[in-house]
Structure 1
Amino acid sequence: MGDEYFFPFETVREEQDRMLADVADCLQKRQHMLVHAPTGLGKTISTLGPALKYAVDNGLSIVFVTPRHTQHKIAIDTLRDIKRKFDPGFNAVDFLGKKHMCSVDGVETMHSGIFADFCGKQIEERKCAFYAQTKKSEGVPTVEAEAALAELSSGGPLHSEELIRYGKENGFCSYELAGFLARGKKPTVVIADYFHVMHPSIRERFFKRIDKDLGNTIIVIDEGHNVPDRVRDLMSINLSSFVINSAVKEARQFGYRETENYLSAIKEIIEILANKTVMNIVNDKKNRRFSLEGLVERDRFIELVELKTQCEYSQLIKDLDFIAEEILEERKQSFIASVSRFLDAWKGDDFGFVRIMKVKSRNKDFASSYNGLSSIQENKDVKIE
């Protein structure tokens, strides 16, 4: 029992048998399926088993997304059990975020946006030895990488930690190795994070990297109750007092006086707006913290920035980008790049988003956010002018 669903264990519990059949039926009918079940039921194997059977029989691939690194390991272990018993002939690759798979020491402390700038610059200028040994400029693996891929493929499904360790020990970019491993004609199971599928631009690049078509891919979403919050986070960007203060110091340190003045002006504007647009006060007596929040109009902020800096908004962003690139020539991260990225995002759509200023009065820190909303209905009392 369970062999027709690639169920690798000897005993199938009644609830598992029912779920295996339901998942298989859903796939045959090409329908969506939402599963609500208690911890310990075996949802991972009861989903991956029949999904992989259907993928192998129909030449499809699977992308299994989960918000927790521990679930990556569970999924890979499950695939190992399936391969050990059935050996159905498939590839399996475990992806984390690019920063978490990087072989360069010290990048783990970088903000994701700052790391993206650093990584892109290193690749563009061919300064990353790990990338250079892994991928040619034409986008194909090097001779050394081809040998590594053959070795890794023969070892079966690997945890991301194993692939990362292999990359560091042998001088390869683990993220690029994972991309190459995901390609090929065999049905492939890719274990990834929410953002690989939920974020529109990241999804497009990710599926291009793994050479898969979304229309021919089975998407399995683990921990589905976390999706709304995670998607909202993915579509939001924040600028904190720490980042803007660090950007001001960075400009001063590198001798960019005009940029320092621009950033100081932006900081002053945000502080003024944050205090003038307070709409809600939350008094947390237990922790003795106060939080002040208020909505801010997109155009009003842009007008104030242009007035205070005497620089057109789009040109200001370009100037900050240029300075950030200069700084990235000298070190791995730039806070000015983070400010520029925030200013650019601020110009985004109104529909489905809200712009918020937040001040913590105890230490006078602030955070300015361009946030995605979970739904328009949930925020029907919020009006963005």
Structure 2
Amino acid sequence: MERFFPYDSFRPLQRELAAAILDGFRSGRVVLANAPTGLGKTAAALAAALAYAEEVEAKVLYLVRTKNEVLQPLSELARLRARGVEVRYAFLRNKQDMCCYGELRGLPYAEFLAECRYLRGLGKCRYYPPKPFEPEAPMAPRSFVKAACGAGTCAYESAKALALWADVVVATYFYAFSPRAEQWMDLGRSILIVDEAHSLPDAVASINSVSVTEAEVRRAKADAERYGMREAAAYLHKAQRALRELRAGPLSVGDALSLFDEPGQIERAAVEVVRLKADEGSTPYSPLVAISEFLKTLREGGRYMVLAEQSEEGLRLRAVPYDVSRIVSGVLSSAKAAALMSGSLPVDLFLKAVPLQRPPRVFDVPLDKYIGRGNFLAVVDRSVTSKYSARGEEMYKAMARRIAAAVSRRPEARSRSSPATTCLKPSGSTSRSTYRSTWRPGTPS
């Protein structure tokens, strides 16, 4: 295991974490690892997973919640290679982030996918079919996309090809927990490391949800009218009126479907409108497609519940999996081995939300075990938030000012703050100018 560790020495409790993960893998149990930020979970988990992968000839799939979180495991793997350990690794991000056509990256994602399918299907994408592309050494995501596009090949398809033979693939949850993901991996021969596992149930629910808004119904009706689909336009007009009168709250699948007369007519209209738009050179997408996908999902008989909720685009109907735990448990039980890691994982509550087939191997390090209880002060600040909808330059600056203010009141303390990754980067320049972060285990924080 030490051969796959990318540093000269282990931090306190880091070796124990790696050993616990390896023990769980060997005993056939899912590992639940809860340990504070700073212990070194990423490096420890990779060391254990690579050691076990060598024993059983399996692939490591390191799963993160967001695309920005791929950078940390990629950094640890690069460090391992720099130490002379030959490990092949690759990453996967969504198609739009890796598209060589810069002008397409600003489209709404559904419209981008439609344009991508259209360009590829008609042979109009100059980067597809992909050409052989094998960089001499692994690259960071941005450099990889630039190099692949410079070589005249689709960066996404090239990354997918490299992932097939890689020892480690770093990807988002989507690639393991969504039925819509391309089936490119064999779970039975994969060792899963799931980072930020406390967010897994909510993330899987979101990944597997489909929705349609009142505004999309209105735009879909306009498309149907423009292209002469009168019957579909009439059905959508009726649905639009029904949505205006609908109150927020849960709906049965039957009640949601009853809002849309003749779903088959709407689905046929979606196909025809997309074809006509492509023929005239417009972006081959229509909100009819989103409505069609929503109705198909409900009609396929999966275990979904429907929520009516207010949004910026009027009332939204959102179909979410009725039992997320079945999806998560199914993936974990299908894998060769699995470790779920977090810095804030309430183990008992997680096990109630996601029952496992066998008792897990638990490694739980409370914050006060890693840092002496007298060595830290927790400050709760209700004047700032990392809520996604509130993020922006002003909020980032406010965070930095509030962190600096908290630190300045304890001049004898050394500080470590851990906001969300996407908030930390933009606020860093402001906060670094105000105070210095030199925290180590055992020092006041």
Task: Give TM class, smaller chain.
Answer: 0.7 to 0.9
**Residues in 1 aligned to 2:208 and 2:295: alpha-carbon distance in whole angstroms:** 15
**Residues in 1 aligned to 2:128 and 2:324: alpha-carbon distance in whole angstroms:** 40
Note the alpha carbon deviations across 1:145-203, whole angstroms, 9 max, x for none.
22x32xx1x22x2222222122333322111001111223xx5211101010011342x
What's the secondary structure of 1:55's corresponding residue?
Answer: helix
Q: CA RMSD in A?
A: 2.5
User: Does residue 195 of the first structure (1) align with residue 174 of the second (2)?
Assistant: yes
User: Does residue 305 of the first structure (1) align with residue 260 of the second (2)?
Assistant: yes
TM-score of the pair, normalised by structure 2: 0.67
Q: 2:307 aligns with which of 356, 360, 363?
A: 356
**Residues in 2 aligned to 1:305 and 1:69: alpha-carbon distance in whole angstroms:** 36
**Residues in 2 aligned to 1:122 and 1:82: alpha-carbon distance in whole angstroms:** 40
**Residues in 2 aligned to 1:346 and 1:48: alpha-carbon distance in whole angstroms:** 39
**Residues in 1 aligned to 2:61 and 2:76: alpha-carbon distance in whole angstroms:** 14
2:146 corresponds to: 165
How far 1:325 moved relative to its partner? 3.2
User: Does residue 129 of the first structure (1) align with residue 126 of the second (2)?
Assistant: yes
1:110 corresponds to: 107
* Cα 1:216–1:268 shift into 2, 3 Å: same
Percent identity of paired positions between Structure 1 and Structure 2: 22
How far 1:259 moved relative to its partner? 4.0
Stretch deviating more after TM superposition (333-342 or 13-22)? 333-342
How far 1:365 moved relative to its partner? 1.9
What's the secondary structure of 2:102's corresponding residue?
Answer: coil
1:325 corresponds to: 275
> Which residue identity is paired with 1:58?
V
How far 1:234 moved relative to its partner? 1.5
Q: 2:187 aligns with which of 214, 217, 240?
A: 214
> Which residue identity is paired with 2:290?
S
How far 1:39 moved relative to its partner? 0.6
**Residues in 2 aligned to 1:350 and 1:170: alpha-carbon distance in whole angstroms:** 43
How far 1:58 moved relative to its partner? 3.3
**Residues in 2 aligned to 1:248 and 1:172: alpha-carbon distance in whole angstroms:** 38
**Residues in 1 aligned to 2:265 and 2:45: alpha-carbon distance in whole angstroms:** 51
* Cα 1:105–1:249 shift into 2, 3 Å: farther
* Counterparts of residues 1-385 of structure 1 (less than 5 Å): 3-4=2-3, 6-88=4-86, 90-132=87-129, 134=130, 145-146=131-132, 148-149=133-134, 152=135, 154-155=136-137, 157-184=138-165, 188-202=167-181, 205-207=182-184, 212-254=185-227, 256-272=229-245, 274=246, 278=247, 293-306=248-261, 312-329=262-279, 330-332=281-283, 333-349=285-301, 351=303, 353-359=304-310, 365-373=314-322
1:139 corresponds to: none
**Residues in 2 aligned to 1:354 and 1:96: alpha-carbon distance in whole angstroms:** 29
How far 1:267 moved relative to its partner? 1.5
What's the secondary structure of 1:322's corresponding residue?
Answer: helix
* Cα 1:371–1:111 shift into 2, 3 Å: farther
* Cα 1:48–1:3 shift into 2, 3 Å: same
* Cα 1:269–1:320 shift into 2, 3 Å: farther
How far 1:336 moved relative to its partner? 2.0
Note the alpha carbon deviations across 1:2-49, whole angstroms, 9 max, x for none.
634x11211212311111211222222232101000011110000012
2:339 corresponds to: none
**Residues in 1 aligned to 2:24 and 2:252: alpha-carbon distance in whole angstroms:** 46
* Cα 1:206–1:107 shift into 2, 3 Å: farther
**Residues in 1 aligned to 2:206 and 2:186: alpha-carbon distance in whole angstroms:** 26
Q: Which of the pair is proportionally richer in helix? A: 1
How far 1:350 moved relative to its partner? 6.1
* Cα 1:219–1:364 shift into 2, 3 Å: closer
**Residues in 2 aligned to 1:326 and 1:188: alpha-carbon distance in whole angstroms:** 45
What's the secondary structure of 1:349's corresponding residue?
Answer: coil
| 8 Å CA contact 1:269, 1:305 repeated in 2 | no
Aligned length: 325
| 8 Å CA contact 1:94, 1:192 repeated in 2 | yes
Note the alpha carbon deviations across 1:76-95, whole angstroms, 9 max, x for none.
1100111111323x321111
| 8 Å CA contact 1:65, 1:194 repeated in 2 | yes
| 8 Å CA contact 2:220, 2:236 repeated in 1 | yes
> Which residue identity is paired with 1:346?
L
* Cα 1:17–1:128 shift into 2, 3 Å: same
| 8 Å CA contact 2:217, 2:287 repeated in 1 | yes
TM-score of the pair, normalised by structure 1: 0.76
**Residues in 1 aligned to 2:120 and 2:244: alpha-carbon distance in whole angstroms:** 37
**Residues in 1 aligned to 2:276 and 2:5: alpha-carbon distance in whole angstroms:** 55
**Residues in 2 aligned to 1:128 and 1:9: alpha-carbon distance in whole angstroms:** 44
**Residues in 1 aligned to 2:259 and 2:236: alpha-carbon distance in whole angstroms:** 13
What's the secondary structure of 1:62's corresponding residue?
Answer: strand
| 8 Å CA contact 2:227, 2:273 repeated in 1 | no
**Residues in 2 aligned to 1:13 and 1:303: alpha-carbon distance in whole angstroms:** 59
How far 1:357 moved relative to its partner? 1.9
> Which residue identity is paired with 2:252?
E
| 8 Å CA contact 1:102, 1:173 repeated in 2 | yes
* Cα 1:343–1:324 shift into 2, 3 Å: farther
> Which residue identity is paired with 2:146?
R
| 8 Å CA contact 2:89, 2:167 repeated in 1 | yes
> Which residue identity is paired with 1:94?
F
> Which residue identity is paired with 1:183?
L
**Higher relative contact order structure (alpha carbons within 8 Å, sequence separation ≥ 6):** 2
